Structure 1
Amino acid sequence: MTTTHATLVRELKTLRKGRGVHAGRIVDRVGPALAAACGITRADGPAAARQKLVSRLTELIEQLPEDLQLATRAAFGLVSDVRHPLYQERVNWVAAVVDRDSRTVRRRVDEAVDQLAELAATTTPRDAAGWHTAELSVAVALDQGQPEVLERYQVVVDGDTVDKLEFASVFPVRRRDVDVHLLYGGTLLDRSSAVERPGFTLLPAEPLTRGDTHDFAIRYRLSNRDVMHPCVLHVPERPCEVFDLRVRFEHDRKRLVRTFDGVLQRSDAEPSGTQHEVDRAGEIHLRFRRLLPGLLYGARWGGSVVCSARRAS
């Protein structure tokens, strides 16, 4: 456990006491590590500090496993109709709702606090990022002479105004080996250089404002099968709620695909993954939820240096 993580755990456990996020003198209840994770500064008054705290905690709790979310919301006083003045009273309320004893609920909250500390230390608040991905759907067709990849994005604006969206393909390929076509969603500017993944800037027809959603889609057509490296590996730079991946092989039912669901990248070791069988139609369908920036998600179906985790971002 790192020093920052341990500090955040301690500060979160202090915050959940009493009335939680509704405690008086909230600025004094939020420790320095938690304040930094929530973007709270000395210039913020009590109302602004509480708003940032509630927004960030709510965002982080949404990334927890579903069985931990209710207990965690109640623990910090984020359930609107549960404003009990004591932490233990809120624990008892959750115990009655889920039909478990209070010790079980406290263990769940402790587990959630540990995960919240990790998320707070490793992810950026959505408002600071300007926008995040609600859903990225990727379809890969390998059963033809020229492989094709279709990427469909739905993004949500978290900042005040966003006039451009920067992103890169989720598969490695040299820019000269692929034809890129924007199907809809604005104007596409190519910002690729001597890198292994094409990078682009999308300009929406009109600037996007807070709360807007925007859809766009891109089709990649590769020159031949040999230039398609055997992997689709996504290391998001921003939070991503859903990553849906479909790969169609050439009717190879015996193929095994290694999948990665939130794997930490390391420079000194091969990332661990899970073996996944291709179905009778020669396809694989994966769906990842609550993706965290910096972690590895996707699939690899063959050995390739270019497909290493170190190069996935």
Structure 2
Amino acid sequence: MSALEVVEELKRLRRGRGIAAPQLGDHVGPALRVVCDIYEDEDSESIRGKVSERLQALVTSLADDLRMAVLAAFGLHEQARSLFYKDRVRWLAEKLDRDDRTIRRRIDQGIQQVAALAIATGRSTDLPHPSRSWHTEDLRVTLALDQPVPEAFEFRRVVADADDIDELDLALTLTTPDARVPVDEADLQVDVFHGGSLTRRMMESSDRVGLALRLPSPLRRGERHEVALRFRAALRYPHYVCVPRHPVDHFELHVRFARPTPAEIVLLDNVFQDDARNHAVRGPSLSPDGSGEVHVDFRKLAPGFAYGVRWQD
């Protein structure tokens, strides 16, 4: 199951009466059934309840306008329960003072983020604590590319969203100039400066290293905890992005480049993870300062999407 499959099924589901369709089971495809934990013999009302609950949970981390757009698109907003999709779009256009075309784009963007969230939270179930058990309130990363071995210092403040959180599931994606060259777990060195103990490393994919950080003591719901890590990898990074599997409220990134600085540096903000390495996907250009550094700042990061910078010599 991929995010694209979830996107396509959500786009079909929003048509007509949306979540209020009489025979809802006929409109919910196999990907959504997995995402919403729907069994084969469930009736329309049971399916409606599960889909509604899952969508409302997934949109909580979206920006206000995108959250409203998704809820209205499916008829889940209490003021947008019109029978037809075009009427719900028109209501939202009036509410946000935008034209219908802009509203449709925002709905599509919201659906893409919801699909990525669904996939990200689904993937995390193979780790001890699934998604939505904690989130990152503040993440600050300083990346030094002018060292013999590139180094990244990460300072993270997390908030427990449930009781008895005693481990954080973290991950880092390492990229090489040649995507055909697989990454080995030994290519990444990790040092914990404070906040826990590294208990497990695993290759989650050909270029993604999963990390389990055991906390000094379990966190209760609402408690905050800070950790500091250093990552070193003998690789040449064409980009550095944060692709969170748990929501991130704030991400600040400093990158210090070696001399001469790259010919091109672009901002990557809320792009698909695979698009981070695709030079056809472009963002605003960034210029390094007199020290060869760039500084970028992001708010309300959606799990499954990429945020950071890409460069090209």
TM tier, smaller: 0.5 to 0.7
1:56 aligned to 27, 47, 54, which one?
Answer: 54
Change (3 A) 1:79 1:257: same
Task: Kindly provide the amino acid, as one letter, of the partner of residue 12 in structure 1.
Answer: R
Aligned Cα RMSD in Å? 4.7
Deviation at 1:60, TM superposition (A): 4.8
Assess if the C-alpha contact under 8 Å between 2:202 and 2:211 holds in 1: yes
- Of the two, which has the highest radius of gyration? 1
What are the superposed Cα offsets for residues 159-204 of structure 1, whole Å, 9 maximum, x if unpaired?
88654333234667985885612322x32225268x9776531112
> How high is the sequence identity, in percent, across the aligned residues?
25
Task: Kindly provide the amino acid, as one letter, of the partner of residue 216 in structure 2.
Answer: A
Assess if the C-alpha contact under 8 Å between 1:233 and 1:296 holds in 2: no
Q: State the TM-score, normalizing by the size of structure 1.
A: 0.63
Task: Kindly provide the amino acid, as one letter, of the partner of residue 140 in structure 1.
Answer: L
2:252 aligned to 225, 244, 255, which one?
Answer: 244
Counterpart residue number, 2:228: 218
Does residue 40 (structure 1) correspond to residue 38 (structure 2)? The answer is yes
Deviation at 1:13, TM superposition (A): 1.3
Gaps of 5+ in 2: 125-129, 176-182
Counterpart residue number, 1:70: 68
Whole-angstrom CA distance in 1 between matches of 2:106 and 2:188: 46
Deviation at 1:244, TM superposition (A): 2.7
Whole-angstrom CA distance in 2 between matches of 1:46 and 1:170: 41
What are the superposed Cα offsets for residues 28-69 of structure 1, whole Å, 9 maximum, x if unpaired?
575234443333335767776445423432355467676554
1:284 aligned to 294, 297, 310, which one?
Answer: 294
Q: How does 1:85-104 map to 2 (within 5 A)?
A: 86-87=83-84, 91=89, 93-100=91-98, 104=99
Whole-angstrom CA distance in 2 between matches of 1:217 and 1:271: 36
Gaps of 5+ in 1: 304-313
Change (3 A) 1:55 1:286: farther
Deviation at 1:284, TM superposition (A): 0.9
Does residue 265 (structure 1) correspond to residue 274 (structure 2)? The answer is yes
Change (3 A) 1:141 1:237: closer
Deviation at 1:24, TM superposition (A): 8.4
Task: Kindly provide the amino acid, as one letter, of the partner of residue 188 in structure 1.
Answer: L
Whole-angstrom CA distance in 1 between matches of 2:151 and 2:301: 26
Assess if the C-alpha contact under 8 Å between 1:136 and 1:151 holds in 2: yes
Deviation at 1:138, TM superposition (A): 1.2
- Give the aligned length: 284
Q: How does 1:106-185 map to 2 (within 5 A)?
A: 107-115=101-109, 118-119=112-113, 122-124=116-118, 128=122, 129=124, 130-131=130-131, 133-134=135-136, 135-141=138-144, 148-155=151-158, 163-169=166-172, 178=189, 180-184=191-195
SS in structure 1 opposite 2:155?
Answer: strand
Deviation at 1:121, TM superposition (A): 5.0
Counterpart residue number, 2:180: none
